[in-house]
Structure 1
């Protein structure tokens, strides 16, 4: 009888060892998974940082470019306004002459 109990205890001990080995394997897998996820998160964080710095530089450059374009448009518009005023005076004179000729 005692021998039977010892066998059962030994069997239970072996079962516990097997369970312990399985838990250890699962623990190892979780550690590997955690390392991979940490690595992936670090990569994503680096990519987001690069994207943010790129967007910042694009925004700064865009502002400078936009200002330059707006200044060029303003310069061209100013000269166009002067040209329109000049031509409207000339056109007005011609209209005045034509009006005089028609009414004479």
Structure 2
């Protein structure tokens, strides 16, 4: 389980300190989880699930079916990272991507 937890943390692009904060624990406890010395409790798993961790995968090694089929690993990582952002930052990302899509749409319409 520790290896899968480390894999999910890496997929989110977070170090142990940042990931531990998401889960409401210390870096040392996070390290213990990843080494398999301790097992996380439900409060921790709930917290990291909100950040985009596939808790079923961490616990069992089986992945949940993705909501949108055909996502590649880069897209999955992007979604996981997006979910770690504050509401304010998520709204900023929406504005930026919306503006980029609008410019792309205008550019494509001129062709």
Q: TM-score, normalised by structure 1?
A: 0.25
Give the structure-2-normalised TM-score.
0.23
